Amino acid sequence: MEIYRGKRLRIETFEVTFPGGRKKERVVVRPGGAVAILPIEEDCCHLIRQYRHAIDRFILEAPAGTMDEGETPEETARRELIEETGMAAETLIPRGYIFTTPGFTDEIIYLFEAQGLSPSGEYAMDEDEVIEPLRVARDALGEMIRDGTIVDAKTICLICRCFGW
């Protein structure tokens, strides 16, 4: 049964029958698909510093965003890269996907590496976003993950996928 529907989020509750016959009520959050993109140049990567209301702080992240209805993951990745960094990518390399928190949500994030970057001439972050694009040395990423400078799970996964860690 649907208990909430918003612009980009549904919440449903239903009864699940587990192996062995035991039944329990479960709630599933269904936000739809999303993407995360790691723009990589020879000696640096582009991240964003973004304010996240749910945790009331700024964090470093890969550019990311939700898929619009009818959009493919690659179309979303190209759009979000321009919106959040003002850059276009010549090449997007799929780096798989992750489930963010499968204990309560079916959210899937498709991961992309962006190569061949150039200014897009556009920069149009959403009106409810507070974002600052940053260039980060590639060599610094591992230490930034280890020391807790980068704590965003999708960004950590994407960096690991792109660099084979």
Residue 12: the pLDDT is: 96
Question: For 52-80, how does the pLDDT look when each residue is reduced to its tens digit (9 = 90+)?
Answer: 999 999 999 999 999 999 999 999 999 99
Question: For 85-95, how does the pLDDT look when each residue is reduced to its tens digit (9 = 90+)?
Answer: 999 999 999 99
The C-alpha atoms of residue 141 and residue 138 are separated, in whole angstroms, by 6
Q: Do the Cβ atoms of 113 and 69 come closer than 8 Å? A: no
Active site residue 61: no
The catalytically annotated residue of 127, 129, 132, 143 is: 127
Residue 120: the pLDDT is: 82
Question: For 105-161, how does the pLDDT look when each residue is reduced to its tens digit (9 = 90+)?
Answer: 999 999 999 999 998 876 666 677 789 999 999 999 999 999 999 999 999 999 999
Name the residue type at position 50.
Q
β-bridge partners, 44: 137
Both structure tokens of 128: 């409810």
What average pLDDT does the segment 6-26 reach?
A: 93
What average pLDDT does the segment 10-30 reach?
A: 94
Residue 107: the pLDDT is: 96
Q: What does pTM read for this prediction?
A: 0.92
Residue 124: the pLDDT is: 63
Alpha-carbon dihedral sign for residues 127, 131, 135, 141: negative
- In order of start, what are the domains of the chain with their CATH numbers? 33-96+109-163 (3.90.79.10)
